[in-house]
Structure 1
Amino acid sequence: MTGTGNQTRHHETQIVADPDVPLVRITREFDAPRKLVFRAHTDPELVAQWMGPNSTQNRIDHWDCRTGGSWRHVSIQEGQEYGFYGSFHEVRPDELIVQTFTLEGMPDGVALEKLVLEDLGDGRTRLTATSLVDSFADRDAFVASGMEVGVNEGYEKLDELLARG
C-alpha cells in the first residue's frame, strides 16, 4: 500500500527485551499479504535485498528454507565480512519459521528464533519475531550491538520491496 505522493508507508517496529526470560520480541505490521511477507523471508534473492542496516550488503552463500534445512549469509560493512549461519527447524508456508541464528566465531551465542505471521485482513500482516538466547548478558549484548538500527532499516527496505510486489 502506498501513501500520498507515491511514498511507502512505514509502520513502527516494537522491540522489547523480556524482563523474565533472555528473549527479544519484535512486532511489526506490513501493508502486504502474509504470503508476500513470508516469501520475502524465505526467498534468498529477496532476503539479500532487505535484511540488515542500510550500511551493509548481503551475500547469501546457502539458503535451504525448509524444515530441516540450513542457511548461511555474509553481511559486508565497510569492507569487513560478518558470517551468520543456522538451521531451519520448522517452516510452515505463509505462517511460521523457527530457526537458529549464530554469528560465526561465537558458537556459544546460538539464538533460537521464531517468526510468526498473522493475517490481519485487508492485505495486511503482523510479524512477531522472538529471539531467545542463553543468558540475559547475551541478550543485552545483542540489543546493544545496534540490532535496533538493523531491524528498523531492514524493515523499511522490506516495506519498499513489498510495495513493488
Structure 2
Amino acid sequence: MPVTDVTTDPEQLTMTLTAEFEASVDRLWQVFSDPRQLERFWGPPTWPATFTSFDARPGGHAEYHMTGPKGERSSGRWEFLSIEAPRRFEVIDSFMGDDGAPLEGFPSMRMTFEFEADGSRARLRNTTYFDSAEALEQVVAMGAVEGSTTAMNQLDRVLTGLREYAQGKGTRVEELSDTLVRITRLIDGPRDLVWQAHNDPELMRQWMLGPDGWTMTACEPSQTVGDSYRYAWAPLEGTEGESFGFEGEVLVVDPPRRVVTTERMAGTDGPSTINDSVFEEEDGATLVILHIEYPDRETRDMILATGMAEGMEASYARLETVLAE
C-alpha cells in the first residue's frame, strides 16, 4: 500500500501522513491539481468526493463534498494559501454546512502537501496543523487516520492509469477489513454504455448470468432512491444447482458514476450487505469498483467462499462481448 506512516503528535498539534508512489513528482502534482482526478481518491472507500469548484491560486477556494453509502453528506472547503508547483501547496481545510458557512463546532485546519523525488519514486508528505489538542483529538476520533489512509491508498490506480492498473487482470478481490471487500474489473467500453448495461433489463439478461448454464428469470432494476429491485436465476437443463435470487433497496444513485444498494438473498430476512458500485472511465475503458460491506467477518468469508468472484468474472467477460457487438 502507498501509505507508509500516519503519525499524530499531541505536542506539536499535527497529524502527518507519508506515502510513496511509483510515479514522478510531476505526475503526482497533476492528480492533486485536477479536480476530476483528485475526486477519484480524496474520499475514503464508500465516501467518494465530488469537487464542485476548484480555483487553485493563492486566495482561491476549492469546494467539495463526500457522499456516504446511505446518502450521508460531509462538505469541506479549501482556501489556498500558497502554491509552489510542483513541490508544495498549502490550504486551510474547513468543514462546511449545507448553507455554505463553516460548520459550528468543527475545527478549521492548516494543511501542507509536499512532494519530493526519491529515485524513480515520488513521496507525499501531508501535514495537518491543529489549533488545539482538543481539535486534534476530535478529528482523530472522527476516523481521520483510517479515512486518510484508505483514501490515499486508492491513488495508485489514478497515477498509473486504468488500463495499466487493471487490464488483463480479471476480477480482483481485496479484503480491506473484516467487513469491507473491494472488487475491481476493467471493462473495455465507455462508462455510459457500461452503466446502461448494468441498468437495462434487456442487456442485463444477456450478460449477468454467472457461469455458463444459467438463465435470468427475474430482472427488475431501479435507479430511484428508496425503490426496491429484484434479480433471480435458474439453472438450464443439464446444469446442477438450485434457483436463487437477490433483492434490496436503492440507497444512492449518481448516474453514470455511482449506485449504492442493499442486498440480501431473496425471500429471507438477511443478512444484508451494502453494495457500493463506482464506474471510472479513462481512455475508452471503464473500471467497475464494487465495495461490499458485510455485517461481520463470518458472513464475508462465507459469501466469498461460494465462488462469487469466479461467477462475476464469467459475467464481466460476457459483458465485454455484448458491448463489442
Normalised by the shorter chain, which TM-score bucket?
A: 0.7 to 0.9
Matching residue's letter, 2:315: G
2-structure distance, mates of 1:38, 1:83:
21
Q: Does 1:50 align with 2:207?
A: yes
Give 5+ residue unaligned stretches, structure 2.
1-166
State the identity as a percent: 32
Secondary structure at 2:306 match in 1: helix
Deviations for 1:5-62, whole angstroms, at most 9, x for unmatched residues? xxxx9652211122x2312211111111000010011112212221122232112253
Pairing 1:99–2:257 present = no
Verify the 8 A CA contact 1:11 1:30 in the aligned structure 2. no
Contact 1:54 1:154 in 2 (8 A): no
Greater relative CO, 1 or 2 (CA 8 Å, sep 6+)? 1
How many residues end up aligned between the 2 structures?
154
Residue 279 of structure 2 is matched in structure 1 by 117
1:23 counterpart letter in structure 2: L
1:34 lines up with 2:191 in the alignment: yes
Q: Is the CA contact 1:13–1:27 (under 8 Å) kept in the aligned structure 2?
A: yes
Task: Report what 1:150 is aligned to.
Answer: 311
Deviations 1:61-101 (A, max 9, x none): 53223222221111112473212111111111110010111
TM-score of the superposed pair, with normalisation by structure 2 = 0.45
Aligned amino acid, residue 190 of structure 2:
P
Residue of structure 1 in register with 2:324 after alignment: 163
1:133 aligns with 2:294: yes
Q: Could you tell me whether the CA contact under 8 Å between 1:97 and 1:116 is conserved in 2? A: yes
SS of aligned partner of 2:303: helix
Measured in 2, the distance between the counterparts of 1:101 and 1:17 equals 19
TM-score by length of 1: 0.85
CA contact (8 A) 1:97 1:115 kept: yes
Q: Give the letter aligned to residue 110 of structure 1.
A: S
Stretches of structure 1 that go unaligned for 5 or more consecutive residues are 1-8
